[in-house]
Structure 1
């Protein structure tokens, strides 16, 4: 005979002989479930589990006398008996999740429940993004001039997030990276990025997204699967208003070509799918993103798109365009930028300082890339020294004379 036992901790099952008595049932429970016999109260009344007073529980001891057989008391195979004991236990679930192959012997409701419906998101969390024009121009000039849009190039955006989802970008940090016509990998988590984060924080800035260029290699899609996955990763890391800027070469009105800026986000659902491990790598760049349900890896059509069971989704389905503006901020971008083919050294530092010789010293240092360069130089690499310089730039205050002498000596002025 199978008896189902319901306690406050869950549902359990035990097998006993058909002629088992109440006393034998209690002994079997004690031996099988490690519950002391003196602590066991059994009843066919569910109220036993909600009764909190010991004296009141006596009225629910309806499985008696101890020598009576369960059959005599009317219990049959599969019946439910309520059990109380004065402590907590860990009860393993009686039924485990089904391990049957996806789609086999399922009701329509079960099938739908196991599929994910890809839906468009109406509006982005980022209402608009405004780029500091010097920073944007410095980025696109290098890509158009030195690289001729032949390979992809990227950077991290530092700025601020305003009310209503309006993002402001004031600096673009270009980490060490590997780019080809189809793919781009930024080196993240480096010591240099940590210094860039430090400078940005002292300037009142934070990471607000990233930017990348697309090569002139022909494509019939806006965003590739790899790019969509990278966008989802950025939003997961930097927050729901994090934005992606895309720079490409587009035809101009005069018949030539010019750099074209666009901004996007991916949907919240895309971010969630990326976090859960749904996105699959592509053998070749494509605007179609293959998906695999990590919980049902054998499913051939794990998602529903536009009412169809499929295993991939067009990246356009995940994109949300963001309007772009521009502004002029307090930071310049004329000092040679890090991790490029162009040199950064004493000569470049000297030229930069000489160009702005008529300005206060703090204004001469008001360039994100210059500050990052100085943060790596002997005598200025300490966080305390860097903090003094950045705080002076941020406040427009006087730079201590000792630091001016160090910087001038680095430039051999």
Structure 2
């Protein structure tokens, strides 16, 4: 008896009959013939839209052995001439060729392979089946299950839970539509309508859609974890010493956060403070600064990246979230997240904002947040601005140079009825915020373990960095040997990198020692020409 298999491709869905005993190569041949695929070897096949296996790797196995049954739906991808007309359309489960090779963060690749289901035990009250059975009361929940999220007070589902949710809806389409889409708030100046181009003319085809603000249901980062409390203590030491505010970049990595289904946490290992002019009620920054790429390279050598920013706001100066929100949006726009699931190849950002401020008890506390995707788009298009009231955001008026679409927001009135109002001229800033939790690990294992702190950069009059200071910090005056723990300091690494004495290979060896804490790496570094040159220069300084 022949087996009917449904094949979904860029060209839609076709049905192919095949003998269960046939080799998979027979199925491949029929697919290539029906869909007129010129390169049979380029076909990949899978029973899921998010994974694929080259069909040539399966040759030798029968349809039966591969578990393909009557009525199964299989997803295929294949290479074709990119100039052909068919390349302009994509099928369910097939990543567009321009997105297929996008390098995502390792955490995205990891989470895409997880089932993400929320496991539940057997309910003693309602489950009437045997111990190895399953029913509606104990079957696993999807990671975006609203009842579970509400019960566990998770205000925003994780990004990958959200991606699973919309991908499940997307599977119902006959053709692939990239599930993620960046908001488009620009006027189409190449409109085909019979009118003069904007600003002389505009129609419903070329004007951007109205914006309805609502709380974003997902968040790109669910938690910020500072690897050690000393990171915050060292950062606010400047404020304690001078009474002025301070800004720093957070360097770390992204890891799985198990407290939220398919969650992501930003693990902060270092705070770097760029050049800045500090004041009691604010600060002045010039970004990017000259050595920003140098610091990013140091972080990369340590397996880290820029994950966010932190600054103090320890005076009641009336600034507040309005300005912070626009600043955060601009920074998130500078640090987009690569994604295979958006036609642009990037979607939103995992760049987090942390603010050190006072809480209701008069203590110093840290708050962490991001701004929504629509907020970053509105800031990028210069549609909104901060107001004198820190809890309010203003919407700009349209001009001959800039078209501002209609903006609305919804809320429940005193009678519990949903009401929609125009956001012009202003609306509450809370519509743009995405709350992120933060904390410290129960058993800290920081990456950098130096027992004493190397002076922090760009703190004139408080701390200074020079070769003599480096020499004393390393303890070379007593032994001349490389102390494993002493070099494990991010600020030390950026200073050494800035001297330019070590070449790329020798600095990589120093960075490797700083994060591995291994004696063998210390011995290798001590024998390098660059390190010996650095020690000699320190001796002469």
Q: State the TM-score bracket (shorter-chain normalisation).
A: 0.5 to 0.7
Per-residue deviation, 1:172: 0.9
Alignment match, 1:137: 233
Q: How many angstroms apart in 2 are the aligned matches of 1:98 and 1:91?
A: 9
The structure 1 residue matched to 2:421, chosen from 300, 308, 315, is 308
Question: Which among 368, 376, 392 is matched to residue 271 of structure 1?
Answer: 376
Partner residue of 1:383 out of 499, 504, 522:
504
Contact 1:246/1:263 (8 A) holds in 2:
yes
Instruction: Pick one of 429, 454, 457 that aligns with 1:335.
Output: 454
1:6-405 equivalences in 2 (<5 Å): 94-96=194-196, 99=199, 115-133=210-228, 134-143=230-239, 145-148=240-243, 151-163=244-256, 164-219=263-318, 222-223=320-321, 225-239=322-336, 240-250=349-359, 252=361, 257-280=362-385, 282=387, 284=388, 286-292=390-396, 302-306=406-410, 307-309=420-422, 310-327=424-441, 328=444, 329-332=446-449, 334-341=453-460, 342-354=463-475, 361-377=483-499, 379-380=501-502, 382-395=503-516, 396=518, 397-398=521-522, 399-401=525-527, 402-405=529-532
Structure index of larger Rg:
1
Count of residue pairs brought into register by the alignment: 307
Q: By how many angstroms is 1:122 displaced?
A: 2.9
CA separation of 1:92 and 1:320: change in aligned 2, threshold 3 A: closer
Check whether the contact 2:281–2:315 (CA below 8 A) recurs between aligned residues: no
Instruction: Tell me the distance in 1 between the aligned counterparts of 2:477 and 2:409.
Output: 57
Check whether the contact 2:448–2:515 (CA below 8 A) recurs between aligned residues: no
Cα deviations across residues 254-312 of structure 1 (Å, max 9, x unaligned)?
xxx54211110111111111122213365x57332222266777889942123222222
The answer as to whether partners of 2:222 and 2:436 remain within 8 angstroms in 1 is yes
* Alignment check: 8 A CA contact 1:289 1:312 kept: yes
Cα pair 1:232 1:274 within 8 Å, conserved: yes
Structure 2: how far apart are the matches of 1:315 and 1:356? Answer: 56
CA 130–362 in structure 1, closer or farther in 2 if over 3 Å, else same:
same
Please name the residue that 1:46 is paired with.
none
Look up the SS of the partner of 2:438 in the other structure.
strand
> In 2, Cα distance between the equivalents of 1:194 and 1:368?
15
Local SS of the residue matching 2:440: strand
Matched residue, 2:133: none
> Shift of residue 392 of structure 1?
3.0
**What displacement does 1:318 show?**
1.2
* Partner secondary structure for residue 260 of structure 1: strand
Shift of the alpha carbon at 1:353? 1.9
Q: Distance in 2 between matches of 1:366 and 1:386?
A: 13
Q: Relative contact order (alpha carbons < 8 A, sep ≥ 6): 1 or 2 greater? A: 1
Q: 1:355 to 1:264 in 2, by over 3 A?
A: farther
Give the match for residue 105 of structure 2. none
How far did 1:404 drift? Answer: 4.5
* Secondary structure, aligned partner of 1:204: coil
Measured at CA, do residues 251 and 281 of structure 1 come closer, stay the same or move farther in structure 2, by a change above 3 Å? closer
TM-score computed with the length of structure 2 as normaliser = 0.50
Q: Tell me what 2:24 maps to.
A: none
Partners of 1:185 and 1:332 in 2: how far apart? 32
In structure 2, the CA distance between the partners of 1:296 and 1:386, relative to structure 1 (3 Å rule), is same
Cα displacement string for residues 72-99 of structure 1 (whole angstroms, at most 9, x for unaligned residues):
xxxxxxxxxxxxxxxxxx9975334575
Distance 1:98 1:207, change over 3 A: closer
Unpaired runs of at least 5, structure 2? 1-189, 257-262, 337-348, 411-419
Q: Does structure 1 retain, via aligned residues, the 8 Å contact 2:270–2:490?
A: yes
Question: TM-score, normalised on structure 1?
Answer: 0.64
Give the Å deviation of 1:188: 2.5
2:270 alignment partner, SS class: strand
Cα distance in 2 for partners of 1:291, 1:356 equals 62
